[in-house]
Amino acid sequence: MLGVPLVVVDPAGSPVLDVPTIGAANWSGGLAATEHLLGLGHRRIGLIAGPPRLLCSRARFDGYRAALEGAGLAVDESLVVPGDFRPESGCTGCTALLDLPEPPSAVFAASDQMALGTIEALRRRGLRVPEDMSVVGFDDLPEVRWSAPPLTTVRQPLADMGKLAVRTVLRLAAGEQPDSPRMELGTELVVRSSTAPPPARVS
């Protein structure tokens, strides 16, 4: 071993090495995003999930599922489509959801890039956000506040994660140990204009 202090930021899975990890509270972020849509009155909520091999993807899905179960709803597997965090997969995933016999009234995309792809898929169908479908993302990338409409999303504390990683490396270099081997920083729901109550159904 070289004796170089090492910290893993946003680990993709369970770290193989015995090193400290720093991540975001992805489970609570997925929970908050879905609870926000439930609170608006949505009951058919689609999920465009991230790659299942990634720990953050699984945690966001588990938060989505926990929110639905907390509202007395089971996960409808037809409303969960795969994605890879890129806009193209958001567009493809939303198109698959729109082709269902009963499409969802809202979509939680597990990354902002996929949420932007979701909005594009809706635009191509002549549908409006949020009048026809609400969309929530995850990350709070700088550009999403300028999307049309500005995106409701879950903010990851990326800058704080970087600062904590630097402090942890310096502590390790000084021979100190971090307070915990697994550090998670809180996420925050940022409500903008891409979410609204579901459209009224014409009987």
Q: Name which residue leads in pLDDT, 182 or 153.
A: 153
Q: Any idea what the CATH number is for the domain that residue 139 is in?
A: 3.40.50.2300
**Cβ atoms of residues 100 and 78 within 8 Å:** yes
Q: Does some domain include residue 77?
A: yes
Q: Does some domain include residue 135?
A: yes
Average per-residue pLDDT in the chain? 87
The 10s digit of each residue's pLDDT in 31-48 is 999 999 999 999 999 999
Please list, in sequence order, all residues whose beta carbon lies within 8 angstroms of the beta carbon of residue 200, skipping any fewer than 6 positions away.
none
Q: How far apart are CA 182 and CA 24, in angstroms?
A: 11
Q: Does some domain include residue 13?
A: no
Quote the pLDDT of residue 43.
97
Q: Name which residue leads in pLDDT, 149 or 159.
A: 149
pLDDT for 202 beyond 80: no
Percentage with pLDDT > 70 across the chain: 76
Give residue 176's pLDDT band: very low, low, confident or very high (50, 70, 90): confident
Q: Does some domain include residue 33?
A: yes
pLDDT for 158 beyond 80: no
Q: Does some domain include residue 132?
A: yes
The 10s digit of each residue's pLDDT in 68-90 is 999 999 999 999 999 999 999 99
Q: Does some domain include residue 130?
A: yes
Query: What is the reported pTM?
Result: 0.83
The 10s digit of each residue's pLDDT in 102-111 is 999 999 999 9
Q: Does some domain include residue 5?
A: no
Q: Name which residue leads in pLDDT, 183 or 175.
A: 175
Q: Which domain holds residue 146?
A: 22-156
Average pLDDT over residues 102-123: 98
Residue 143 burial (CB count, 10 A): 10
Q: Name which residue leads in pLDDT, 107 or 169.
A: 107
Q: How far is CA 52 from CA 32, 89, 157, 177, in A?
A: 20, 14, 22, 32
Q: Does some domain include residue 90?
A: yes
- The contacts found for 185-188 with CB under 8 angstroms, 24 or more apart, are 185/22, 185/23, 185/24, 185/25, 185/157, 185/160, 185/161, 186/24, 186/25, 186/28, 186/157, 187/24, 187/25, 187/26, 187/28, 187/29, 187/32, 187/154, 187/155, 187/156, 187/157, 188/154, 188/155, 188/157
Total of domains in the chain:
1
Q: What is the DSSP letter of 112?
A: H
Please list, in sequence order, all residues whose beta carbon lies within 8 angstroms of the beta carbon of residue 53, skipping any fewer than 6 positions away.
12, 13
